Chains A and B, each alone.
Chain A
Amino acid sequence: MTRVFALISLALGALLTTGAFIAVFFFVPIANGGELAQVANIGGEQVTHQLWFSQKIFYFHVPVAIASFAALALGAWHSIQYLRTKRPVCDLRARTAMEVGLIFIILTMISGDLWTRSDWNTWWNWDPRLTTYLILMLLVIAYFILRVQIESPERRARISAVFGIIAFANAALSMLIPRLMESMHPVVLSGSADSGLTPPMLAAFLTALFGMLFIGFGLYYLRSMQLELAERLALVQARYDEAQGS
């Protein structure tokens, strides 16, 4: 039953994101950039502004980035739950959420990199926003290295829960830096009424966002179920071996 739930979430996510991407390329208008010196005629249309075709990556990059934060927040939440209740399943869920988070972080890095290559004409730049996000990725990788380095399962769960919380607090602090400092990275979702998105753009963006969140949740759900089953299997195996031995 629960597996069906996870699969529905994944399928819904796939459907929404695919739909959003098709819409983005066929129906949503291209974003306008700076004004042109003279009106150009492209494909039978009068064009007065520079067109930003590369802006299309916004509908992938930003939802993936938001999904990565959601996954990390979920990981921190389960870490807190572990410290409160000491239930091993919380540790397992925290770890799964971090895994999903890492996947989305890597996707954000790749899509962001493609965009900086096309718009800033460079693969990498030590812009505050890029740097803080790179640090976030290193923190999550460090979380997994830390897990491998501790042998006792109880201590591993406890210590990595503490580090998960520290990492999340740190990520939140890091994200303040580009808001306070000067950054080249565009801020579209700043909370102000005029975000520059026309209604069709916003609709496509929100569809892609919800799709990504569903995919993330489906992945998290499937993976944590798999890990829980593996743990139960190991337990049964251990009991079986014990019975055989006696």
Chain B
Amino acid sequence: MKQFMTLLRKDLKIEFRTFDILSSMGIYAVLVLVVFGVAFMLGENSYDITPLASGLLWVLAVFTSLLGLNRSFNREREFSALEALLLSPLDRGVLFLSKVTANALFLSIVFVVAVPLFVFLFLQGGVQGNGVLAPSAPLVLAPLAVGILGIAGVGTLLATITLHTRGRDIMLALLFIPVIFPLLYSCVTASSMALLGISDSMVFLQTLGMGVGYDVIMILVGWMLYDFVLNG
């Protein structure tokens, strides 16, 4: 636990001094929103994109987090920081969990800004027409939380896997999207139910439960295999 806190504090301290990951992820999220804006503005000015909203939201989430995950291990490569970490008598599982927590925190911070911005730009009946959200819309926070945890878990594991490959950044995207698919599927379904109105709360909970199950299994697998990923 003490090791975990020390590692986490180290990651957070570096980040809040440089704002390296947060700034690039934040700007990238805004740029994705701009691309959405262009894609939907060029036709008539009154699309109702509410039925598509949850899909777009997760496109934003997946691409933004990919960028952040790529960067999260870059700084460990500089000055061989990772090797130095591995020299210390440190449980590899703890290292994994602290990295997952740090990445989940960074993703949450970015989404706290990006998701309201997304809602404001596309779903408030403003620019894009007259989309009306269901009263259950705030429940979208539940699949978002489940998604962030899973993305951070799988992303940390795969970022470490691709650390020593030749085309690092591209490899991460190639591995990340198929592996994240079950989570993406359940989160998109659950968010879309929340945004458009939940007709059957059992189905909503079941879909969400599938995402939680995925998180638990994948983080467990990562925690067990992390030792092998690092040095075998």
Please determine whether A174 and B232 come into contact, CB atoms closer than 8 angstroms: no
Q: Give chain A interface residues in 144-158, CB to chain B under 8 Å.
A: 145-146, 149-152, 154-155, 158
B22 CB within 8 Å of chain A: no
Check B157–A142 contact: CB distance below 8 A.
no
* A176 and B210 in contact, given A145-B174, A146-B171 (Cβ under 8 angstroms): yes
Question: B229 at interface (Cβ–Cβ under 8 A)?
Answer: yes
Which residue of B167, B175, B182 is within 8 Å of A173 (Cβ)? B182
Residue of A nearest to B173 (CB): A142
Which chain B residues lie closer than 8 Å to A135 at the CB level? 178, 181
- Whether A149 pairs with B210 at a CB distance below 8 angstroms is no
Q: Is the Cβ of B178 less than 8 Å from the Cβ of A149? A: no
CB distance from A161 to the nearest CB of B (A): 7
* Chain A, interface residues (CB within 8 Å), range: 20 to 34
A151 and B161 form a contact (CB under 8 A): no
Q: Are B182 and A162 in contact (CB under 8 A)?
A: no
Report Cα–Cα, A162/B210, bound state, in Å.
Answer: 23
Closest partner residue, chain B, to A86 (CB atom): B232
**Chain B contacts for A174, CB-based, 8 A:** 181-182
Interface string of A157-191 (1 = CB under 8 A from B): 01101110111011001101100110000000000
A residues 126-148 in Cβ contact with B at 8 Å: 128, 131-132, 135, 138-139, 142, 145-146
Whether the Cβ atoms of B178 and A146 lie closer than 8 Å is: no
Measured in the bound complex, the distance between the Cα atoms of B213 and A102 in whole Å is 27
Identify B206's interface contact among A83, A146, A159, A180, CB under 8 A: A180
Interface contact B179-A149, CB-CB below 8 Å = no
Which among B175, B185, B186, B206 is the interface contact of A163 at CB below 8 angstroms? Answer: B175
Instruction: Give the Cβ gap from A166 to chain B, nearest Cβ, in Å.
Output: 6
Q: How far is the CA of A27 from the CA of B199 in the complex (A)?
A: 49
Does A158 lie within 8 Å of B175, measured CB to CB? no
Q: Given A86-B232, A145-B171, A159-B161, are A170 and B206 neighbors across the interface (CB < 8 Å)?
A: no
Chain A contact residues, CB within 8 Å of chain B: 83, 86, 128, 131-132, 135, 138-139, 142, 145-146, 149-152, 154-155, 158-159, 161-163, 165-167, 169-170, 173-174, 176-177, 180-181
Name B's A-contacting residues (CB within 8 A): 157, 161-162, 164-167, 171, 174-175, 178-179, 181-182, 185-186, 189, 206, 210, 213-214, 217-218, 221, 225, 228-229, 232
Ordered by A's residue number, 13 sampled pairs between the chains whose C-beta atoms are within 8 Å are A132-B181, A132-B182, A139-B179, A146-B175, A150-B164, A151-B166, A155-B164, A161-B228, A163-B161, A170-B181, A173-B182, A174-B182, A176-B210
Ranked 4 nearest A-B pairs via Cβ: A149-B165, A138-B178, A135-B181, A139-B178
